[in-house]
C-alpha cells in the first residue's frame, strides 16, 4: 500500500489520539495536499518544525496500529467479505431457483453495507 494512503487511513482511525496540532498538520499534509511551506506559514512555525511534527505523528500512528491492529483487521474483513460476495455471485449465477436467488441477493446487499 502506498505510504500516503496508509498514513491517511491511520489518521482516520487513530487521528484523535494525536495532539490536535499533530492531527491538523498531518491532515493538511496527507489529506489536503498542503506543502510543508504552506503548513508552516499557516501555523507560524518553521518548515523544519512541520516536518518534525509530521514524522513524530507518523511514528505514533504506526505504533498505535502495531499494538491495536484496527486497520489490518478492517482490511482483512473487507477482503473476506469480497471473497464471500464473489462466491455468492457464483452460486447465484448457477442457481435457477428464484427463492435462492432472492435470498442470495439479500445477503449480498447486507454484506455490501459492511464494506
The last residue of one of the domains, among 47, 68, 89, is 68
Indicate whether 64 and 91 sit together in one domain: no
Indicate whether 30 and 55 sit together in one domain: yes
CA distance 86 to 31: 32
Indicate whether 89 and 54 sit together in one domain: no
Query: Which grid cell is 110?
Result: 447486507
**Cβ–Cβ under 8 Å, residues 80 and 46:** no
Indicate whether 89 and 60 sit together in one domain: no
CA atoms within 13 A on the CB side of 33: 0
Residue 86 above 80 pLDDT? yes
Domain count of the fold of the chain:
2
Indicate whether 62 and 21 sit together in one domain: yes
Alpha-carbon distances, residue 40 vs 23, 26, 33, 115 (angstroms): 14, 12, 13, 37
Quote the pTM value: 0.78
CA distance 5 to 22: 17
Indicate whether 59 and 38 sit together in one domain: yes
What are 19-59's pLDDT values in tens digits?
999 999 999 999 999 999 999 999 999 999 999 999 999 99
Indicate whether 9 and 24 sit together in one domain: yes
DSSP conformation class of 63: H
- Please give the residue range of the domain that contains residue 51: 3-68
Residues contacting residue 44 through CB under 8 Å, at least 6 positions apart = none
Span of 2-16, 24-38, 56-70, 87-101 with lowest mean pLDDT: 87-101
Amino acid at each position: 500500500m502506498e505510504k500516503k494512503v496508509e498514513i491517511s487511513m491511520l489518521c482516520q482511525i487513530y487521528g484523535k489520539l494525536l495532539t490536535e496540532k499533530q492531527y491538523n498538520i498531518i491532515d493538511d499534509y496527507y489529506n489536503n495536499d498542503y506543502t510543508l511551506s504552506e503548513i508552516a506559514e499557516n501555523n507560524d512555525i518553521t518548515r523544519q518544525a512541520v516536518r518534525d511534527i509530521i514524522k513524530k505523528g507518523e511514528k505514533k500512528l504506526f505504533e498505535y496500529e502495531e499494538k491495536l491492529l484496527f486497520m489490518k483487521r478492517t482490511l482483512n474483513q473487507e477482503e473476506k467479505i469480497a471473497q464471500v460476495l464473489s462466491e455468492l455471485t457464483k452460486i447465484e449465477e448457477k442457481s435457477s431457483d428464484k427463492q435462492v436467488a432472492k435470498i442470495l441477493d439479500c445477503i449480498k446487499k447486507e454484506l455490501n453495507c459492511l464494506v
